[in-house]
Structure 1
């Protein structure tokens, strides 16, 4: 693709964002009113609004006939289409896919979750995600004709940019090769793919009212992963492994992990591992609902298991915090809310690990705010691409770039 074409695509996208931002802030506006607010010529604005109308991103709401003075022809007023899903966030976990659809104002219009077996092939996972998207669109009366971008989170280390990428997966058969192409083909929109837990870290950092220039995030779910915000930037690392706290060795003599090592944090602190540990100790716990009930009745066996897990998590987080000196340490995943003992014990352990650091106070340790939708919300945050946390991150592929690449293949 030529530099000129790339610059033109960037300029057009910038103009579109300015028009959409004005309609978000002001509501319905005439073309003349839009031109005045965004500082574009009427010719340029006409081209931009024509493209947005064609895609279904905006609609002609009415005319200004009721408020117009003089005898001129009534002007059409343009507005955002409330039924247009314009951004799609998808989080593929080990055992479930979470979907979130947002509008042009970045408000989430619909979200949903579907579960599957850990060994489900990736083409079937993608098919299930498509079914979920179709169901949500139908239930909420949405259309995706104006879809501007798709953000996708996948488990395990992921590196890559646009159509040229390499993937490292923890277990055979779990490599999400071609997920980006499947979504790009289905929706004809630029696709960004990254590690799902790293995207969840982004979502937590963006949502933090305290600011998140330095943050360590770990998510306890079907697996265990993490993400790092360092110096105000979400960090991927040289090979996409930055923040993979789930595969830090926590017990050298422990059980074999899906990655092939022994005693990784994931073997001790993932939801399946925690439930299994409760059962080994004699507690009647088979799922998170059972665990919540046991916590509610203050089951001493379950409490002891949770606090042991919290200690292990705290030790691993302590090493990361000692290295990075974060403002916040966040423990995500539904279990962090169901079993607050994990967060409490991890915070105590972390304070001990950081005791030697002469500071005014320890970093804050908290449960994630965004619950189990954090990966899909983080995928949306990544494709909005408005946060300085994403400085240095690759931009999603534009339609011009995608067409150029296809013609060269």
Structure 2
């Protein structure tokens, strides 16, 4: 733990390690003290003024910039608290709202309770960060002063070389006492300094962590998402069972009966047996086709072989009108996320082909800020409503299982734009070829 730097350093490197850890704590405290004045105060003033200027229009542009800078400083503090003091501070911000222009983005920032907690932190951290940041360095400085400076002043006074009569009244005690006090302060400054730095991290944790109401809301959302995911999984299993029972299983049963009957006919009517075997071969081909279709519905082979890029381009080629494809993925998402993204795009393209009356569509997929963004649009008649059909609602549930979101913009007359986001990290680099348009 970073809060036990002194003990760990003493075990690893003796007193030299303790001194290095103590000096590092002092430097980190000074960084906190400087930022509390040079960053927190200006950010608080600028953010408050930019919010106040929203009614005259200037704040619509300035407020998101100021809030973004304030969040950047708060995120840096979260990283330092974890690395320096072992105090984890979760990031509480709500996902950014895609689309809708600057007003929607600003409204999303102002509605986020974490924005106002960050603002309060910048105000309170100015005095608290200054005090707690300077204390470790002050303890070290006063300890060194007691050892290196005060004894000389006491010696000069004792021999009558200076006007420091209070030390002269104590004689040699006036020389030894500052040295003892300085040594105590010097030794204490190392472990106490790291605890003071941890105290500052705990102070930041109290303001920069998610609020209890936010945590309760998050728990409720996760419970709903889990319930919907379980229901969706159960429905998917029932669909697979129904397709197997009514399709491939029925054909395989008929195939078995035909082969059995052909075996009996082979003894006295080889011609009829040959016809039954021909029918059985046709049934086996149809059963194989149905099984392949069922497998594609679970996890398409092209997705496993070529990744999301190649699979989406193959989808675009199957649509009966031109589809522009722009994909920028330096790696591959995890398989469950990749599958969810693929079926989301597939459902959107199917809706476009069936209901939109579009003559052209476009797909844009990119990754940034730890989120996979998928945009599917068309130039159709518009009026798409996620609540009106089960397809979009099912995709919304599938994305919610991965903490994803879906936003639909579809005014009457079009165009329709569906923006989907999935938090994920990319792993291995892609190895499939790509082109500009599918």
Q: TM-score, normalised by structure 2?
A: 0.24
Q: Relative to total residues, which structure has the larger strand share, 1 or 2?
A: 1
- If asked which structure has higher relative contact order (CA below 8 Å, sep 6+), I would say 1
Q: Relative to total residues, which structure has the larger helix share, 1 or 2?
A: 2
Q: Flag the structure with larger Rg.
A: 2
